[in-house]
């Protein structure tokens, strides 16, 4: 049995809509399968906002907020706007080559990702093996 309200009163919905518009975004549609949860997309980040009732306000879920603690409409708009500003920071630019090896496009676009770090370590290891092989071959001659 759900303890959530069956609907969102217009006064609370209007207040949230106004706060989000002031923050530069809009309140999205009702999340499928729910009555009181709305979707908000802002700055490439998807948020869900659930009405918990007049006493508790709204539960916001998104990056860094997983449990949806109750907050009022201005706090919801503030969190969404702040996260969009943080998300706009550029990543680390990728060089065209790494130790003389051309960087594949999939790692160049995500240079600071774990996969790119693993590729760099693998490339470094392969270069070290090639160098050791060349030194060993020189010594055998």
**How far, in Å, CA of 25 to CA of 9, rounded?**
21
Q: What is the largest CA-CA distance in the chain?
A: 86
Burial classification of residue 137, based on how many CB atoms lie within 10 Å of its CB (0-12 exposed, 13-18 middle, 19 or more buried)? exposed
Mention every residue, 6+ apart, whose C-beta is less than 8 A from residue 70: 52, 56, 57, 58, 59
Q: How far apart are CA 88 and CA 43, in angstroms?
A: 8
Two structure tokens written together for 1 = 């049995």
* Structure tokens given for 65: 């907020």
Output the pLDDT for position 105: 84
The pLDDT profile of the chain, 141 residues, written as one tens digit per residue, is: 568 788 999 999 999 999 999 999 999 999 999 999 999 998 878 899 999 998 889 999 988 787 777 899 999 999 888 876 655 455 667 788 878 888 888 888 878 788 888 888 988 888 888 888 888 888 776
Residue 112 vs residues 46, 58, 93, 96, 99: alpha-carbon distances, Å? 22, 35, 9, 14, 17
Cα–Cα dist 135/131, whole Å: 6
């Amino acid at each position: 049995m759900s303890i959530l309200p069956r609907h969102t009163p217009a006064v609370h919905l209007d207040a949230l809509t106004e706060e989000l518009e002031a923050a530069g975004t809009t309140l999205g549609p009702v999340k499928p399968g729910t009555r009181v949860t709305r979707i908000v997309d802002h700055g490439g980040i998807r948020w869900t906002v659930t009405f918990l009732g007049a006493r508790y306000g709204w539960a916001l879920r998104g990056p860094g907020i997983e449990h949806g603690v109750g907050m009022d409409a201005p706090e919801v708009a503030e969190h969404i706007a702040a996260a969009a500003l943080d998300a706009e920071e550029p990543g680390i630019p990728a060089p065209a080559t790494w130790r003389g090896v051309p960087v594949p496009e999939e790692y160049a676009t995500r240079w600071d990702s774990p996969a790119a770090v693993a590729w760099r370590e693998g490339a470094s290891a392969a270069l070290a093996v090639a160098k050791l092989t060349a030194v060993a071959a020189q010594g055998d001659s």
